[in-house]
Amino acid sequence: MWKSSLIVACSFILSSIFAIDQSHGFVYECSRGFIFMLFPLSLLLPRKYLIYLVLIVMVNMLDLTQSATDLMKFGYVRRASLWQQAIGPIPPSMTVFALMIIIGFRLLRVKLDLLYKLVLIYFCGIMVVISFYHGYPSQNLSRFISDLKIPIFLCLGSLVFISYFTHYSHKLHDIAKFFLLLCIGHFLLDFINHINGTSVSITSGFKNASLDSTKGLVMAISFYAFYNIAVVKRVFPNTILFVISVYMLIAFQTRWLILTLSAGIFLIFLYFRFYRKLFIVGVTVLTAWISMFFVDFASVEEVRIMLLRFNVARADYWKNLDSVDPIRFKAIVNSISFLNQKDSLLQGLGYGSWYDDRFIRMPKLTVEAFTKESLIAGKFYRVHEFFSNTIFKTGLIGLVLYLTLFLRPITFLFKRRKYVLSVNRFAVTTIVIMGLFPTILTYFWFSAKALLFTAFYVVFIHFWALYIRRQYFISKNTNTSLPALS
């Protein structure tokens, strides 16, 4: 217990250090020196501890801390995070990539199965060729490089994690526990900051507890607490964890997180086969949703604002998708129509690709939706919706390959559901995996940090499925030989 408390405390302290901005002068410079210690540590630490450095970079270091409006108003205010530290002309994301390269060379043992080979060939090879074929690198090199985070952080990040778990697959439990404790410490800081009224930023008039691209990882705490309440019956402490983590999800003011949380809960109920309870929960949610139109219960500010962001009070909410979110709806129509015009639905348009509003006029836009560069040129480089953006950039082939990375191990875990749930130490990790699945799946286009965590997640669940399979065969006293990543 004391070790877990120590990790949570250290995570809280690390997140506090990495959140210091450059307005603090000398303290900020000391914090910067501290984060660059990661590079010598990556060379000196025993190889089995290298994954913990990467987890700290992914969980405790923020990448996004200012809205587009804040950037225009106040300029770039850097934090003591590796995700915001440039080395000369090298952008911050490439600084993180340099750290991953060092770790990758130290591990240097990659055995890939056919699926991972296809993913690497397609995203790192074929998509680059397609991009040059359409001339996007010559049109806007910076946008092409920005989209290259897909092969760099998703594909090459996967190689590093595969190398690590090939060496240390027996450390899956320890890594899962360490990740969860890091999340508790990190989001405890967000909770305290939010309660004290020192939220990171104010966007579109709404106070946000965080703008970080992986803030959705707070759901890991929610699902861990949910399992311990529903199955282990450790009610009191886990109820506190669950309530605080869900409260923080609402305080993040992101509709996507609420939707993927709901999808994660639905998936967990299916995994447990709590069909009767699922029906009860569904009726309860539906009743609560309907009551929004008749009862003004939103006395909590965060809940009130979230309802406004969902626009449930609008009379035309249910008429069509255009009334729900006109910017996203019209971006989807324009991007897919442009894709069809180019006869590129199967393979996509590649990195650096863009669309315009020639098919359906876009509504009034601000820098919160698209960059100033896009607004001036009338060229839009993001769709702001996972499936449409993935198809637009990488085509149906890319979408299928990407989904298969997730669905193959997830499907296996469903097949071995009874065995997993019979062993508590398997069940709790698997439930968190299932709950996070909808959120991590839709990280694809978001940021370099989100893509790096996606790489970690897909590789972890792949090795977790192999581990469960091995343990299942051992329990049945059958052949324990398993197909490796080859």
Angle at Cα 456 formed by Cα 232 and Cα 9, nearest 5°? 55
Q: Please count the CA atoms within 13 angstroms of the CA of 317 that sit on its side-chain side.
A: 10
Record the tokens describing residue 326, joined without a space: 């006109």
| Cβ atoms of residues 5 and 184 within 8 Å | no
Record the tokens describing residue 198, joined without a space: 């020192």
DSSP-derived secondary structure for 206-237: EEES---TTGGGGHHHHHHHHHIIIII--HHH
Asked whether residue 379 is assigned to any structural domain, the reply reads no
pLDDT value at residue 289: 45
Q: Which helix (H) or strand (E) holds 283?
A: helix 275-291
Cβ partners under 8 Å of residue 260, min gap 6: 216, 219, 438, 439, 442
Q: Which helix (H) or strand (E) holds 320?
A: none
Cα-to-chain-centroid distance, residue 40? 28
| Neighbouring C-beta atoms of residue 320, cutoff 10 Å | 10
| Cβ atoms of residues 469 and 412 within 8 Å | yes
Burial letters for 164-176: b for 16+ Cβ neighbours within 10 Å, e otherwise? bbbbbeebbeebb
Asked whether residue 340 is assigned to any structural domain, the reply reads no
Asked whether residue 418 is assigned to any structural domain, the reply reads yes
Q: Please count the CA atoms within 13 angstroms of the CA of 124 that sit on its side-chain side.
A: 15
pLDDT value at residue 482: 45
pLDDT value at residue 66: 75
Cβ partners under 8 Å of residue 2, min gap 6: none
End-to-end CA distance of the chain: 39
Asked whether residue 41 is assigned to any structural domain, the reply reads yes
What pTM was computed for the model? 0.86
Domain of 129 in residue numbering reads as 2-294+389-475
DSSP-derived secondary structure for 150-184: IIIIIIIHHHHHHHHHHHHGGGHHHHHHHHHHHHH
Q: Which helix (H) or strand (E) holds 203?
A: strand 201-203
Helix and strand totals (H; E) in the chain: 25, 2
Cα-to-chain-centroid distance, residue 366? 25
Q: How many domains does the chain have?
A: 1
Query: What is the DSSP-derived secondary structure letter of residue 84?
Result: G
Asked whether residue 419 is assigned to any structural domain, the reply reads yes
Asked whether residue 345 is assigned to any structural domain, the reply reads no
Asked whether residue 344 is assigned to any structural domain, the reply reads no
Task: Output the tens digit of pLDDT for each of the chain's 486 residues.
Answer: 778 899 999 999 999 999 888 888 888 888 888 888 999 999 999 999 999 999 999 999 988 877 766 776 777 788 888 898 877 767 788 889 889 999 988 887 777 888 999 999 999 999 999 999 998 888 888 888 888 888 889 888 999 999 999 888 889 999 999 999 999 999 999 888 888 876 555 444 445 677 888 888 999 999 998 888 877 778 888 888 888 888 888 888 777 888 888 889 888 888 887 655 555 555 454 454 444 444 444 445 545 545 555 554 444 444 444 445 677 778 888 888 888 888 888 999 999 888 888 888 776 655 455 666 666 677 888 887 888 889 999 999 999 999 999 999 999 999 888 888 888 888 889 999 999 999 999 886 768 899 999 999 999 999 999 999 888 887 776 554 444 443
Question: For residue 395, which of 341, 348, 335 has the smallest C-alpha distance?
Answer: 348
Record the tokens describing residue 144, joined without a space: 């092409």
Cβ partners under 8 Å of residue 377, min gap 6: none
Record the tokens describing residue 356, joined without a space: 């315009």
Asked whether residue 57 is assigned to any structural domain, the reply reads yes
